[in-house]
Amino acid sequence: MAVQHQPGRIAFIADYLPRQCGIATFTADLLEAVAKEVPKADIFAVAMNDVADGYRYPERVKFEILQNDRPGYRKAADFLNISHVDVALMQHEYGIYGGEAGSHILTLLRELRMPVITTLHTVLQAPNDSQKAVLEEIADISARLVVMSSRAVGFLKNVYGVPQEKIELIHHGVPDVPFVDPNYYKDLFGVEGRRMILNFGLLSPGKGVEYMIQAMPRIVRKFPDTVFIVLGATHPHIIRTKGEEYRLFLQRLARELNVADNVVFHNRFVETEELCEFIGAADVYVTPYLNPEQITSGTLAYAVGAGKAVVSTPYWYAEELLADGRGVLAPFKDPDALADGIVGLFSNEVERHAMRKRAYTFGRQMIWREVARRYIEVFFDIYKSLSQKPMGLPIARKKADIMELPPLKLDHLKWLTDDTGMIQHAVFTTPNYHEGYCTDDNSRAVMVAVTAAEETGEDEVLYPLANRYIAFLQYAFNREIRRFRNFLSFDRNWLEEVGSEDAHGRALWGLGSTVAHCEMDGLRGLSANLFELALPAVEGFTSPRAWAFTLVGIHEFLRRFGGATEVRRVREILAEKLFSLWRDNSSQDWPWFEENLAYANATLPHAMILSGQWMRRPDMFDCGIRSLSWLCGVQTLQGYFAPVGSNGFYTRGGDIARFDQQPVEAASTIRACFEAYRSTGDERWTVEARRAFEWFLGANVLNQPLYDPATGGCRDGLHPDRVNQNEGAEATLSWLVSLLEMQSGARARKERTE
């Protein structure tokens, strides 16, 4: 099914204002445009610094990387990963990142756990080996590559081998300005009554401004009122190496050609609002660039978007953007051709205004609002495709080997436990008091505590924890109506009078486990008392999972007190109810209890396997084995355990929701598979259990571990693009149950083979 994912956090990686460069301006404009379209999203930037002291960034910038500090790129990746970023939008230009051909950026990209959209501001037709290798790896890691011209699309496919489906053509964004007569703005700059030619951008030798100055004498002879404005500060990198050498050369050239009064230099970096006024005042915009391989130009895009008549040299981007009569092309390094183009436009007002109109009409698709919407469309398309084909980590980042069974580590279990009981959720690894407690998790917690005590013999540590969880269940039980409440706020106020049927069933499972595995008489006695008081209510339940949870709890209880007649009677009733569901809904191609797969699915066959075995009902046992076998097939993708996701589940005849994958599904599958193994001796069930267990360790469709060896906890789930970094109670308890079950299963296999 399609994943409808509303972006929560979006990170931009690039230069950022107030750094003076075109990409910094582009990034800031695109970021703000996207922010307007998704106002609820948290959008921020990771900024590249080309100087050690950095810049006085706005609040949008939350992290900085010094261009040549390679460890800084790795730290930035870690920052983005722990920030729960949904998508990273990177602007790529070889010169803004450190290392050979900007290779340091790969250090960051290789570590990211979210999809990356990369906008390419340069795509070379004839790259050197390093440039080609860097771009090819960026293409491999990126979910999409955005380019701004059709020629760049062709280069990506033919030179770099990028598949078409990975490439998006989105125009360079431009401000949304009205289509006005240039005379409206001219008085702002002291050129009213004059014809104005404009060139803007950071000044550097490659801009070819000298050829435009050489064209001015011919233009001025025909139209003496013409003024050529050169707007923009000298590029900071040029300043650092050569100072104002190029600007002084241009000024000297204008004097030598006797057009100094017709050429005006504005040596400053202007903000967007003033820039739009300069562009608005221009009669003709000129880009006499020298490099034919320039694949994009923000300045040219701005001029076209504002509806300017343009004269340009035929670099790649200009050829494409000025096609169909949207501008005039003149040969490179040819002042006479530039002069002819401009004189022709000044001499033919009708054609010049028609050209302006064609440019402005074309430019409406380039305004920032439309460009932002295209990027957001790409974002949603990525998540739609990830629901079908998840984003695995690049080969270099995959785990070479899956870990053997880690040691049982209870640090995080203890962190989530306070004087009241098990806290329900966490923010990363810190308990989230806002979410309070629930009976579901305290039931699971007592199972872990008593089973771990039995497994490790550490009664002195684990029984006090079990005692706390049982105390919570006792407090949750309403003896008047004999039902468990579920949700308790942190200030110890119940948020409901009656909890769900599933919570009641899980409580019975936890109590039954305590009766079976705990050697402390007081805990076992209280648990047995609560179990017997709470059991009768289940006969009136309608939830199949509540029946299944209770059935597993009953079998735990009967391990200790096998002669409990009333408990055995309820077992027969619930087992028949669950088996009736199977008979009513199953078919050859859908051997299941319901019309859908939802949550804790493997507990249903688990309950049937137990019931069929201990009630001597081969039909129930066969039902359990068949349904579990089918479920394991459904839950396998690309050889990995891939449980049905909670983002839509799986309805008969529909599509399987592959995300969000939950640890509780792995835990219930492991338990059911080992029960099948214990009852049949068939090794296939240990293989399935191992497959589900290794899901925690990184053998999943993302190749990313959910188990946290530093805390002993478990992350909350698997999204299409990343692991949820929060380590809540359900996930951590599911991990601990699974590890204990694997340890127990290993002993069972050893005993069977000896």
- Say whether pLDDT at 195 is over 60: yes
Residue that the structure tokens 């080997």 belong to: 401
d(CA 446, CA 513): 8
**What is 585-651 written as a DSSP string?**
H--SS--SSSSEE-SSTTHHHHHHHHHHHHTT-HHHHHHHHHHHHHHHHHTEETTEE-PPPTTT-EE
Residues 632-645, mean pLDDT to the nearest whole number = 94
Q: Which of 606, 605, 539 is nearest to 574 (CA)?
A: 539
The pLDDT of residue 638: 85
Q: What is the pLDDT of residues 552-576, one digit of tens each?
A: 999 999 999 999 999 999 999 999 9
d(CA 712, CA 707): 7
d(CA 117, CA 138): 10
Indicate the pLDDT class of residue 4, thresholds 50, 70 and 90: very low
197 strand-pairing partners: 228, 284
Q: What is the largest CA-CA distance in the chain?
A: 114
The pLDDT of residue 240: 87
d(CA 660, CA 667): 15
Residues 319-343, mean pLDDT to the nearest whole number = 97
- Say whether pLDDT at 267 is over 80: yes
Note whether 387 and 720 are within 8 A (CB).
Answer: yes
The pLDDT of residue 490: 97
Give the number of residues written for the chain: 754
Q: What is the pLDDT of residues 698-715, one digit of tens each?
A: 899 888 899 999 999 999
What's 182's DSSP letter?
Answer: T
Residues 712-728, mean pLDDT to the nearest whole number = 93
Which stretches of 366-461 are assigned E, i.e. beta strand?
426-427, 430-431, 437-438
Q: Record the tokens describing residue 232, joined without a space.
A: 């923009």
The pLDDT of residue 408: 94
Indicate the pLDDT class of residue 396, thresholds 50, 70 and 90: very low
Percent of the chain with pLDDT over 90: 87
Q: What is the pLDDT of residues 542-555, one digit of tens each?
A: 999 999 999 999 99
Least confident of 180-189, 339-348, 407-416, 613-622: 180-189
Side chain identity, residue 166: K
Indicate the pLDDT class of residue 246, thresholds 50, 70 and 90: very high
d(CA 438, CA 485): 8
The b-or-e profile of 448-479 (16+ CB within 10 A means b, else e) is bbbbbbbbeeeeeebbebbbbbbbbbebbbee
- Full set of structural domains in the chain with CATH: 9-173+370-388 (3.40.50.2000), 183-362 (3.40.50.2000), 591-754 (1.50.10.20)
417 strand-pairing partners: 422
Q: Which of 633, 622, 634 is nearest to 597 (CA)?
A: 634
The pLDDT of residue 395: 37
Q: Which of 643, 704, 697, 640 is nearest to 669 (CA)?
A: 643
The pLDDT of residue 612: 97
- Say whether pLDDT at 606 is over 60: yes
d(CA 414, CA 456): 16
Q: What is the pLDDT of residues 517-532, one digit of tens each?
A: 999 999 999 999 999 9
The pLDDT of residue 389: 64
The pLDDT of residue 384: 78
3-state helix/strand/coil string of 268-335: CCCCHHHHHHHHHHCCEEEECCCCCCCCCCHHHHHHHHCCCEEEECCCHHHHHHCCCCCCEECCCCCH
What's 498's DSSP letter?
Answer: S
The pLDDT of residue 391: 58
Residue that the structure tokens 């705990």 belong to: 518
The pLDDT of residue 394: 44
For the chain, counts of helices (H) and of strands (E)? 27, 27
Q: In what helix (H) or strand (E) does residue 12 lie, and over which residues does it extend?
A: strand 9-14
Indicate the pLDDT class of residue 455, thresholds 50, 70 and 90: confident
d(CA 96, CA 93): 6
Q: What is the pLDDT of residues 30-87, one digit of tens each?
A: 999 999 999 999 999 999 999 999 999 999 999 999 999 999 999 999 899 888 888 9
The pLDDT of residue 388: 62
Note whether 449 and 729 are within 8 A (CB).
Answer: no
Angle at 321 between CA 319 and CA 325, to 5 degrees: 85
Note whether 167 and 147 are within 8 A (CB).
Answer: yes
Q: Record the tokens describing residue 469, joined without a space.
A: 């969880």
The pLDDT of residue 405: 86
d(CA 323, CA 442): 69
d(CA 747, CA 754): 11
d(CA 615, CA 602): 20
